[in-house]
C-alpha cells in the first residue's frame, strides 16, 4: 500500500519539476556559423522568436545559460554537392540539408546538440525546432502564432531528426493573376513592395522551403524592373532560398513576358532578342528559368523551331549564366491539343540532350491528385497519364511535381469556397512523390485568404519527414490545425467537416455544381472545353430541353445531396461556434476565419440547391402549365441565402491581410495583370451567385451575360 502511495505521489511531483520556470536560454555558435549570412539570419531571427516565447533572457553564446542550443561548425568554403539518386542528370544544385537534434542533460544544463553539415541545414533545423517542437506556428506570411512559455516543454533526453522529402521544395506564386504579392513583385512603384516580398521570403525560410518562383509579365521597362527585383533575389539567397522566374518563349496568354516578339513588333531575329533579354534578366542572380515554350497551354506550335530555340536558350542559361532551365508538362493530353505541331520534332539524340539539361515540372490542377480515378479537368477523365509521364521523364531528366493549392477564376477562392479536400489530396501526392524519389516539389499557389493559407502551410511542413526517438511521425490531413486550435473537440468537428467535404464535394462530385461556370462552359461545341468539373448537362439544356425524368435525376443526384451536405455542415459549424468560448484570444481570429470560410461554403451548397430548384420549377411550368408555379418563393430563397453569405463576406474582408484595393476591388487599369480587379473581387459582391440567379430568371445562359472577363485581353488578342 505504501509503495502504491509513493508511486502516485511521484506521478504528481514529476510534472512540477519538469515545468518549473527556466532561467536562461542561448544559441551557441562559432565564428564560421555566425559569419555565414544564411545561418546568421536564422540565428538572429530565432533568438528574437525565442525571446518572445520564453519569459527568460535569450542570447547568443552565453555558455552559462540553462538551455543551450549548440550548433555545429560548418565549412563555408565547402562546394555545393549534387544530391540525387541519378548523378548523370544535370541538376539544380543545393546542399544536403537533413539535420538531427540530440538532447541530453549536462549537470545543471540541458544541451541540444545539432548535427548538420551546412548553413542551410542550420537554418532549417532552428526553425524546425521552433515550429515542430516548441509550438510556434508560422502559418501565414503576415501572421504567426507565438506561445507564451515560462518552462521548457521538451523532455531532457531525446533524438529528433528531419529528412527533406524533396531536395527542392517551394512555391510558385501565379502572378499572372492579381494575387496578394502580384504588385509587390512586378511593380517597382508599389509602396512597401520590397518589405512585403521579404515577409514572404521569411515565411518560406521559417517553413524550411528553399525555392521561390513567380511569373514575369510584359513590362514597360525591363531594366527598371530588374533593378527593383535584384536586391530581393539577393535577399532570398541570404535566407538559403533559390530564385526562379517563370516566363515564356512567345506566349500570348495573360500578358506573359515573351523572350522574343514576332515581326512587325521587332525587326530582330528571335535569337537576337532572346540573347538581349536574357542579358538584362540575368543582371539579377536567378537560379532557374521556367519557360513556357508554346503560345498557349492548348497548343504545341512548331516543334522543330521550339527545340532549336530551347537548345540555344539552354546553352546560354546553363553555360553563360550558370543557371537551370525548366519547362512544364500541362494536364492537357497531346490528342486534345487545338493545333498539331507544324513540323516533326528534333532527332531523338538532340531531344535527349535537351531534356537532360532542362528540368520538367509535371503539373496537376485543383484538388485532384495523380491517383484519383476521376478528375474531370481540361478534357481528362483523370490525371493518371501525368503520373506515367512523371515516371518516364524522371529516368533521364530532373523532374519536379507541380500541383495546385487553390485555383482562381472559377473553382474555389473566386466563388468563394474553402475546399478542405485539398489537404488530403496534397498529402497523398507528397507521400507518393517521396516514395518515387522525385527531386522537387513546387506548389502552384493562387491566394491565401479564405483559409487557403492552411493548404500552403501544410504542404510546406509535409515536405519534411520527422523522426522522434527513432519513430517516424505520421501525417494526417488536418494535423496542423491542432497547432493553432489545440482543443480536441474543435479538431474533431474540423476533421468531420473535412471528411464531409471529401465525401460529398469530391467523391460524390457535387463540385460539378458548386463551381462557377467559365466562358468555355457556355460556348457552343466544339469550343465548350471542360476545363473544370461541370454538370453532365448544361444549365441551358436543363432549362430548355430537360423532361420530367431529367429533372428527377437532377433532384436525386444534385439538389438533394447539396441540401444534405448543407444540413450536415450546418450542424458541425454550429458545434464550432458553440466551442469558441474555449479558445484563447490569441487564436480566436484564426478560428473565426475558418468558421466563416466553412459557413460560406455551406451556404454556397444551399444556394446552389435553391437555384437548381428554381430552374427545375421554371422548366416544370413549361412542361406542364397546370403545375403550381413556385418560382417567386424559390427566387426569394436564393436571394435570402446570398444576402446571408454576403454579410459574411463583408465581415471576412475586414480581416484580409493585404489592401482591399489590391485583392478585392476594381483596379481601373492600374494593375500589372490583364485583369482589372483583384483576385477576390468576384467574391466581394458574390458575383457568380448573383449571375446564376439572373441566368435562370432571365433564361440567358451565354458566356457574355453579366461577364466580368475581358476575354480578348486574357488570350492576348488585344493589349
Q: Is the pLDDT of residue 704 over 60?
A: yes
Per-residue pLDDT band at 14 (split at 50, 70, 90) = very low
* Three-class DSSP labels, 302-353: CHHHHHHHHHHHHHHHHHHCCCEEEEEECCCCHHHCCCCCCCCCCCHHHHHH
pLDDT cut 90: percent of the chain above it: 79
Q: What are the chain's domains? A: 15-164 (3.30.379.10), 168-477 (3.20.20.80), 490-654+686-715 (no CATH)
Task: Identify the residue with better confidence: 338 or 206.
Answer: 206
Q: Enumerate helices (H) and strands (E) in the chain, giving the number of each.
A: 25, 18
Per-residue pLDDT band at 84 (split at 50, 70, 90) = very low
Average pLDDT (172-188) is 97
Average pLDDT (155-160) is 96
Q: Is the pLDDT of residue 156 over 50?
A: yes
Whole-number Å distance between alpha carbons of 162 and 174: 29
Measure the CA angle with vertex 363, ends 361 and 368; round to 5°. Answer: 150
> For 412-435, how does the pLDDT look when each residue is reduced to its tens digit (9 = 90+)?
999 999 999 999 999 999 999 999
Per-residue pLDDT band at 463 (split at 50, 70, 90) = very high
Furthest-apart CA pair in the chain: how many Å? 98
| Mean residue pLDDT across the chain | 91
Nearest of 443, 642, 615 to residue 541 by alpha carbon: 615
88 grid coordinates:
548523370
Q: Is the pLDDT of residue 13 over 80?
A: no
> For 279-301, how does the pLDDT look when each residue is reduced to its tens digit (9 = 90+)?
999 999 999 999 998 766 555 66
> For 679-690, how does the pLDDT look when each residue is reduced to its tens digit (9 = 90+)?
999 999 999 999
Whole-number Å distance between alpha carbons of 42 and 129: 12
pLDDT, position 15:
37
> For 96-116, how does the pLDDT look when each residue is reduced to its tens digit (9 = 90+)?
999 999 999 999 999 999 999
Dihedral sign (CA 125, 126, 127, 131): positive
- State the alpha helices, DSSP H only, in 129-282: 182-186, 193-206, 222-238, 270-281
> For 305-356, how does the pLDDT look when each residue is reduced to its tens digit (9 = 90+)?
788 888 899 989 999 999 999 999 998 876 665 554 444 555 666 666 677 7
Q: Specify the range with the lowest mean pLDDT, choosing from 53-57, 581-585, 649-653.
A: 581-585
Q: Is the pLDDT of residue 602 over 70?
A: yes
Measure the CA angle with vertex 198, ends 325 and 659; round to 5°. Answer: 110
Per-residue pLDDT band at 40 (split at 50, 70, 90) = very high
Q: Is the pLDDT of residue 85 over 60?
A: no
- 699: Cβ contacts below 8 Å, ≥ 6 apart: 543, 544, 618
The owner of cell 493530353 is 333
pLDDT cut 70: percent of the chain above it: 92
pLDDT, position 630:
83
Q: Specify the range with the lowest mean pLDDT, choosing from 190-204, 466-480, 518-532.
A: 518-532
Amino acid at each position: 500500500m505504501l509503495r502504491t502511495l509513493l508511486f502516485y505521489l511521484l506521478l504528481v511531483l514529476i510534472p512540477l519539476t519538469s515545468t518549473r520556470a527556466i532561467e536562461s536560454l542561448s544559441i551557441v555558435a562559432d565564428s564560421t556559423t555566425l559569419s555565414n549570412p544564411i545561418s546568421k539570419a536564422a540565428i538572429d531571427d530565432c533568438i528574437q522568436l525565442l525571446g518572445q516565447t520564453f519569459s527568460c533572457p535569450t542570447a547568443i553564446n552565453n555558455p552559462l545559460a540553462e538551455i543551450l542550443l549548440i550548433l555545429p561548425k560548418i565549412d563555408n568554403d565547402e562546394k555545393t554537392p549534387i544530391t540525387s539518386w541519378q548523378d548523370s542528370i544535370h541538376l539544380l544544385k543545393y546542399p544536403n540539408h537533413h539535420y538531427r537534434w540530440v538532447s541530453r542533460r549536462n549537470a545543471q544544463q540541458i544541451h541540444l546538440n545539432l548535427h548538420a553539415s551546412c548553413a542551410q541545414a542550420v537554418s532549417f533545423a532552428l526553425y524546425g525546432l521552433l515550429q515542430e517542437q516548441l509550438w510556434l506556428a508560422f502559418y501565414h506570411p503576415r501572421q504567426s502564432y507565438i506561445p507564451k512559455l515560462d518552462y521548457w516543454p521538451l523532455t531532457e533526453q531525446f533524438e529528433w531528426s528531419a529528412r527533406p522529402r524533396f531536395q527542392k521544395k517551394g512555391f510558385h506564386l501565379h502572378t499572372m493573376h492579381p494575387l496578394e504579392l502580384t504588385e509587390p513583385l512586378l511593380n517597382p512603384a508599389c509602396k512597401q513592395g520590397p518589405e512585403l516580398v521579404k515577409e514572404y521570403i521569411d515565411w518560406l525560410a521559417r517553413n524550411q522551403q528553399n525555392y521561390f518562383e513567380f511569373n514575369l509579365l510584359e513590362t514597360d521597362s525591363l531594366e527598371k524592373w530588374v533593378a527593383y527585383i535584384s536586391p530581393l533575389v539577393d535577399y532570398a539567397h541570404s535566407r538559403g532560398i533559390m530564385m526562379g522566374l517563370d516566363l515564356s518563349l512567345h506566349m500570348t496568354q495573360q500578358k506573359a513576358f515573351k523572350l522574343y516578339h514576332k515581326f512587325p513588333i521587332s525587326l530582330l531575329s528571335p535569337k537576337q532578342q532572346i540573347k538581349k533579354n536574357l542579358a538584362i534578366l540575368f543582371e539579377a542572380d536567378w537560379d532557374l528559368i521556367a519557360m513556357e515554350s508554346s503560345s498557349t497551354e492548348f497548343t504545341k506550335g512548331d516543334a522543330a523551331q521550339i527545340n532549336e530555340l530551347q537548345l540555344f536558350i539552354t546553352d546560354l542559361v546553363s553555360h553563360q549564366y550558370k543557371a537551370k532551365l525548366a519547362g512544364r508538362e500541362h494536364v492537357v493530353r497531346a490528342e486534345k491539343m487545338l493545333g498539331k505541331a507544324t513540323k516533326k520534332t528534333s532527332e531523338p539524340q538532340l531531344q535527349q540532350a535537351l531534356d537532360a539539361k532542362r528540368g520538367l515540372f509535371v503539373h496537376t490542377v485543383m484538388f485532384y491528385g495523380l491517383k484519383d480515378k476521376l478528375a474531370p479537368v481540361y478534357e481528362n477523365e483523370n490525371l493518371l497519364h501525368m503520373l506515367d509521364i512523371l515516371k518516364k521523364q524522371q529516368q533521364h531528366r530532373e523532374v519536379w511535381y507541380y500541383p495546385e493549392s487553390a485555383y482562381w477564376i472559377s473553382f474555389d477562392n473566386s466563388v468563394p469556397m474553402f475546399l478542405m479536400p485539398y489537404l488530403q489530396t496534397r498529402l497523398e501526392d507528397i507521400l507518393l512523390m517521396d516514395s518515387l524519389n522525385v527531386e522537387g516539389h513546387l506548389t502552384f499557389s493562387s491566394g491565401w485568404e479564405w483559409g487557403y493559407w492552411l493548404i500552403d502551410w501544410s504542404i510546406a511542413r509535409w515536405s519534411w519527414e520527422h523522426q522522434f526517438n527513432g519513430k517516424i511521425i505520421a501525417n494526417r490531413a488536418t494535423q496542423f490545425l491542432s497547432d493553432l486550435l489545440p482543443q480536441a473537440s474543435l479538431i474533431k468537428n474540423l476533421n468531420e467537416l473535412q471528411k464531409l467535404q471529401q465525401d460529398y464535394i469530391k467523391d460524390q462530385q457535387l463540385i460539378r455544381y458548386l463551381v462557377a461556370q467559365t466562358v468555355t462552359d457556355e460556348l457552343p461545341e466544339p469550343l465548350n472545353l471542360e476545363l473544370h468539373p461541370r454538370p453532365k448537362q448544361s444549365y441551358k439544356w436543363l432549362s430548355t430541353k430537360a423532361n420530367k425524368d431529367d429533372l428527377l435525376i437532377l433532384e436525386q443526384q444534385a439538389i438533394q445531396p447539396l441540401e444534405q451536405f448543407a444540413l450536415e455542415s450546418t450542424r458541425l459549424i454550429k458545434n464550432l461556434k458553440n466551442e469558441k468560448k474555449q479558445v484563447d484570444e490569441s487564436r480566436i481570429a484564426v478560428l473565426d476565419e475558418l468558421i466563416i470560410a466553412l459557413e460560406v461554403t455551406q451556404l454556397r451548397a444551399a444556394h446552389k440547391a435553391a437555384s437548381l430548384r428554381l430552374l427545375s420549377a421554371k422548366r416544370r411550368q413549361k412542361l406542364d402549365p397546370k403545375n403550381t408555379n413556385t418560382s417567386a418563393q424559390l427566387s426569394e430563397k436564393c436571394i435570402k441565402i446570398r444576402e446571408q453569405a454576403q454579410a459574411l463576406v463583408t465581415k471576412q474582408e475586414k480581416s484580409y491581410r493585404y489592401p482591399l484595393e489590391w485583392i478585392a476591388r476594381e483596379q481601373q487599369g492600374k494593375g500589372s495583370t490583364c485583369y482589372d480587379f483583384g483576385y477576390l473581387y468576384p467574391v466581394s459582391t458574390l458575383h457568380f451567385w448573383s449571375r446564376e440567379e439572373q441566368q435562370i430568371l432571365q433564361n440567358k445562359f451565354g458566356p457574355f451575360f453579366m461577364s466580368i472577363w475581358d476575354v480578348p485581353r486574357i488570350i492576348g488578342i488585344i493589349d
